[in-house]
Amino acid sequence: MTDLVFLRDAYQTEFEATVVEINESEIALDQTCFYPTGGGQPHDTGTLTIDGTSYQVSKVRKAGDLVWHTVNLPEGEAGQTDGEAPLVGATVTAKVDWDRRHRLMRTHTAMHILCGVIWNEYGKAVTGGNMEPLTARMDFEFDPLPEGFGQRVQDLVNDEIAKDLPIVVSFLPRSTALADEDLIRTKVNLIPEFVTEIRVVDIVGLDKQADGGTHVRATGEVGSFEVVKTQSKGKGNKRVRIALHD
Ligand SMILES: [Zn+2]
């Protein structure tokens, strides 16, 4: 299985690992700092260096216990054992593209701040969302949106960013997590029962969620928050588009 280093340390971007499996142009490692697409957060990019040759990582996905890194191997080399291709058991030196990752961390944290602010101010829950580096959309259960919503929410989020609230990641036993009121609100009960340890991302004093994504250490790192647009996506579903600025 692949040890998911990013769950414990979102700031580690360089690491050594061992190739455990190769499948066409995908490489699985025994550990990784590369975030695989999931939970609304897109995968990282970066490089894997094997025997002095660097390969660009264009896609990262998790399947079962393994994280697969798609690399642009020259045709014919992928998975071959002719001495040119990365072999199972080979040591890899890896580096995550930090600019992209950090922008995604800022964006993911901004989305949680938005969730917390909207819950506190309006008592409305998030129903979905998606992000790219420095932009995102989130859907909420409003019908209709209150007057002045966009500006109000933008101001409130920027207030929380100015407070530079710490963000604490912890791992709780399932029974503890299921008894936590804040986590119940964010639907922790929907996590499959085989998950016995639940990772919690706590923007202290604002928003606590079961979450597998990567986040910054404190809200001040997010930057300046803008509500770009609000849209109706049907009854009881209103979309908020956001952007971050330095
Ligand atoms: Zn999240």
Mean pLDDT of the region 196-209: 96
The pLDDT assigned to 72 comes to 79
Mean pLDDT of the region 119-127: 94
Query: Cα of 108 to ligand 1 centre, how many Å?
Result: 6
The pLDDT assigned to 182 comes to 86
Weakest-pLDDT range from 123-127, 157-161, 238-242:
123-127
Diameter of the chain measured on Cα atoms: 66
Query: Cα of 150 to ligand 1 centre, how many Å?
Result: 21
Could you please report the per-residue DSSP string of 37-89? SBTTBPPP-EEEEETTEEEEEEEEEEETTEEEEEE-PPTTTTT--SSSSPPTT
Mean pLDDT of the region 124-144: 95
Cα distance between residue 62 and residue 46, in whole Å: 16
Give strand pairing partners of 136: 131, 242
Query: Cα of 169 to ligand 1 centre, how many Å?
Result: 12
Query: Cα of 110 to ligand 1 centre, how many Å?
Result: 9
CA-closest candidate to residue 34, choices 21, 48, 53, 18? 48
Query: Cα of 210 to ligand 1 centre, how many Å?
Result: 8
CB 20 within 8 A of CB 30: yes
Query: Is the pLDDT assigned to residue 115 strictly greater than 60?
Result: yes
Query: Cα of 140 to ligand 1 centre, how many Å?
Result: 15
The pLDDT assigned to 157 comes to 98
Query: Cα of 36 to ligand 1 centre, how many Å?
Result: 14
Query: Is the pLDDT assigned to residue 88 strictly greater than 70?
Result: yes
Query: Cα of 115 to ligand 1 centre, how many Å?
Result: 10
Q: How confident is the model at residue 76 (pLDDT cuts 50, 70, 90)?
A: low
CB 57 within 8 A of CB 69: yes
Query: Cα of 24 to ligand 1 centre, how many Å?
Result: 31
Q: End-to-end distance of the chain based on CA atoms, in angstroms?
A: 38
Query: Cα of 235 to ligand 1 centre, how many Å?
Result: 24
Query: Cα of 37 to ligand 1 centre, how many Å?
Result: 12
Query: Cα of 171 to ligand 1 centre, how many Å?
Result: 15
Annotate 9-20 with b (16+ C-beta within 10 A) or e (fewer): ebeebebebebe
Distances from the Cα of 145 to the Cα of 13, 139, 168, 191, 230, angstroms: 40, 11, 31, 30, 9
Query: Cα of 214 to ligand 1 centre, how many Å?
Result: 8
Query: Is the pLDDT assigned to residue 79 strictly greater than 70?
Result: no
The pLDDT assigned to 101 comes to 98
Query: Cα of 212 to ligand 1 centre, how many Å?
Result: 7
More confident residue, 186 or 85: 186
Mean pLDDT of the region 220-240: 96
Helix (H, G, I), strand (E, B), or coil: what is residue 104?
helix
Cα distance between residue 238 and residue 246, in whole Å: 27
Query: Is the pLDDT assigned to residue 108 strictly greater than 90?
Result: yes
The pLDDT assigned to 85 comes to 53
List, in order, residues 6 or more apart from 136 with CB less than 8 Å away. 107, 110, 111, 129, 130, 241, 242
Query: Cα of 38 to ligand 1 centre, how many Å?
Result: 10
Q: What is the mean pLDDT of the chain?
A: 93
Query: Cα of 208 to ligand 1 centre, how many Å?
Result: 10
pTM of the predicted protein model:
0.94
CB 68 within 8 A of CB 60: yes
CB 106 within 8 A of CB 98: no
Q: Look up residue 40 and give its two tokens.
A: 């609304």
